[in-house]
Amino acid sequence: MRVALGRIAIARSGDKGDTANIGVIGLVEQAYPVLVKEVTADRIKRYFNNICHGEVERFELPNLGALNFLLHESLGGGGTVSLMLDAQGKTFAATALGLEIDVPGGVLEACDRVTAGVASGRPVGEEGHRG
Amino acid sequence: MAESGRKVRVASGQGFWGDWQEAPKLQVQHGPIDYLMLDYLAEITMSIMQKQRQRDPSAGYARDFVDLVLELAPDLVERGVRILTNAGGVNPEACREALVEGLRDVDTGRRLRIATVHGDGLMERLDDLLAEGHELRNMETGEPLSSIRDRVYSANAYIGAAPLLEALGHEADIVITGRSTDTALTYGALAHEFGWAADDWDRLAAGVVAGHINECGAQAAGGNTLLDWRGVDLVRPGYPIIEASADGTFVVTKHPDLGGRVTWATVTEQLVYEMGDPKEYITPDCVADFSSIRLADLGDDRVRIHGVRGGPRTDRLKVSIAYHAGWKATGTLTYAWPDALDKARRADEVLRGRLDDLGLSFDEIRTEFVGAGACSGRVPEFAAELPEVELRIGVRAADRESVERFTREIAPLILAGPPSVTGFAAGRPRVQEVMAYWPALIDREAVERDLRVEVVEAA
């Protein structure tokens, strides 16, 4: 199903100089392969075309079920040089969650249970799972 | 898994200069902790402190920290809590003096030992370092520092745990540093307590991960979380506490009777915050591999982290340099429905036309329409119906006069501009100095030879 990334993931963003980072975290274990397939560096670059003037790098963190994106040349020079309202890219995470992706129904259902507070989400197969 | 063996608890109390003042008090007073780490420094903070010190030689540190300790001192002694902080900024000595002076009027029951770390500041020997061949090239552009040398405001090396270990070895109750890394304020305490070797890369890396979780205050404990954010009690959040074992595994938690929340989600969100290449999280003491982190949510606001791997430290330290890069100002006006966005756009054209007519030249003019996609860079489809839009226009220039002149061109739009405008109550925009950031690397030996620790007892 075609849904917004925010249905299956949460995210957080921050800055380092003129580069913004966006970490995208799957709500359940099964969401991670979907993220890997759907949320490519190229798609993030196109989605942020009005903000990101440099390249986008992607790093994989399977242990955390997360992807990390670096958006270069995206903060108007960064730090106090920048004239941008969001000079530290703090809101980029929320924006990224609007990206539309294809998600298998089962994964979506499992994620919706987490959002609804019925299941606790991501870590499985370890001693800490309480879902 | 059973949790056995001695635990050391390092609590986070401040994530930046200006963070919630009640947090460190709650951390000390609402349950057992061994260490309180207080991070006051961001990339730009050092240059702000340097400017304050230029105006007043006894300034240049986080004054808030002194007030906090004076209030907390009796509790710290009674509960045996030690503090690690980088509140010293560009003037750890003055920070200590203010603290010692203030403590004269506080009954703490016993004398407090206060250590300061000196030598991260490179400003006074910058020319010597350049003469010795340390080029301090910009890590991003490759330019040598000589191209902006005359505009440098502050230069500090990021230093690691060694001086903290020395200070704690002298039984300091409070350690005040300058540009210690944020993470060292946590892993320094753990390395001291558990006696981790300087080349025990995996344990040090685990400490770095713990430090990364602690360094942004509430951000690891429900602040900014996107998962069920409505459900988190943020009125009185408990900031994160690292409960570490000698083997480098640790549990992230918080005091049970405070708000906030610690789950796999809140901790993972903080783990990816400001992340670069996860396999190469470089610190002065090791290179941590964040892709090795294993995380388990134990429930009841307890998240366990284990499996962290690290690699050898690099032979260079990062240097944070701030330099003058001109002036800027930002003005705002609000336009109301109907056609709020079009009115704001028209006002922008008018203003830019007037700036052209004045013959002013700027390095950059940036216009954003707040309420119509300023954060996302995406104009909503229903833009025509927006109830109001804030025009936000900023300029930056090498000369102050041009920026000054710009600040006088906002108000005229109230009468001589498009209709339905308001929001000028705050008056003319303020002209701000632009302080640019110049990240560089330096041989660690050039810094470490001058690091020293001083310990004094407060009467």
What does the pLDDT look like over A5-64, one tens digit per residue? 999 999 999 999 999 999 999 999 999 999 999 999 999 999 999 999 999 999 999 999
Hey, is the C-beta of A54 within 8 angstroms of any chain B C-beta? no
Q: How far is B109 from chain A (nearest CA, A)?
A: 43
Residues of A (98-127) whose Cβ lies below 8 Å from B: 98, 114-115, 117, 120-123, 126-127
Hey, is the C-beta of A84 within 8 angstroms of any chain B C-beta? yes
pLDDT, one tens digit for every residue, chain B (459 residues): 445 699 999 999 999 999 999 999 999 999 999 999 999 998 789 988 988 999 999 999 999 999 999 999 999 999 999 999 999 999 999 999 999 999 999 999 899 999 999 999 999 999 999 999 999 999 989 999 999 999 999 999 999 999 999 999 999 999 999 999 999 999 999 999 999 999 999 999 999 999 999 999 999 999 999 999 999 999 999 999 999 999 999 999 999 999 999 999 999 999 999 999 999 999 999 999 999 999 999 999 999 999 999 999 999 999 999 999 999 999 999 999 999 999 999 999 999 999 999 999 899 999 999 999 999 999 998 999 999 999 999 999 999 999 999 999 999 999 999 999 999 877 899 999 999 999 999 999 999 999 999 999 997
User: Strands, E, within B235-375: which ranges?
Assistant: 241-244, 250-253, 281-282, 287-289, 294-299, 302-306, 309-311, 316-336, 364-370
The answer to whether B368 contacts A85, with C-beta atoms less than 8 Å apart, is: yes
Hey, is the C-beta of A62 within 8 angstroms of any chain B C-beta? yes
ipTM of the complex: 0.96
Residue B1's pLDDT is what?
44
Q: Which of A59, A114, A123 lies nearest to residue B295, judging by beta carbons?
A: A123
The answer to whether A83 contacts B395, with C-beta atoms less than 8 Å apart, is: yes
Q: Are B258 and B236 in contact (CB under 8 A)?
A: yes
β pairing state of B421-422 and B309-311? unpaired
Q: How far is A97 from chain B (nearest CA, A)?
A: 10
Mutant choice from A16, A60, A85 vs B, greatest count of B C-beta within 10 A: A85
**Structural tokens at position B449:** 């030879």
Could you tell me the fold of the domain covering B325-438?
A: Alpha-Beta Plaits (3.30.70)
CATH 3.30.70.1130 domain range(s) in chain B? 325-438
The answer to whether B435 contacts A80, with C-beta atoms less than 8 Å apart, is: yes
User: Strands, E, within A27-107: which ranges?
Assistant: 56-61, 66-71, 100-102
Q: Which of B274, B291, B328 lies nearest to residue A61, judging by beta carbons?
A: B291
Q: Is the pLDDT of residue A130 over 60?
A: no
Identify which has the larger pLDDT, B373 or A127: B373
β pairing state of B82-85 and B174-176? parallel
In B, minimum Cα distance to A92 occurs at B376
Q: Looking at residue B237, what DSSP letter applies?
A: B
β pairing state of B309-311 and B112-118? unpaired
Q: Which of B43, B265, B394 lies nearest to residue A79, judging by beta carbons?
A: B43
- On chain A, the residues whose CB falls within 8 A of the CB of B277 are 59
User: Strands, E, within B95-158: which ranges?
Assistant: 112-118, 152-157
Residue for token pair 């005359």? B150
Hey, is the C-beta of A27 within 8 angstroms of any chain B C-beta? yes
In B, minimum Cα distance to A7 occurs at B227
In A, minimum Cα distance to B392 occurs at A85
The answer to whether B231 contacts A60, with C-beta atoms less than 8 Å apart, is: no
Residue B459's pLDDT is what?
73
- On chain A, the residues whose CB falls within 8 A of the CB of B228 are 115, 117
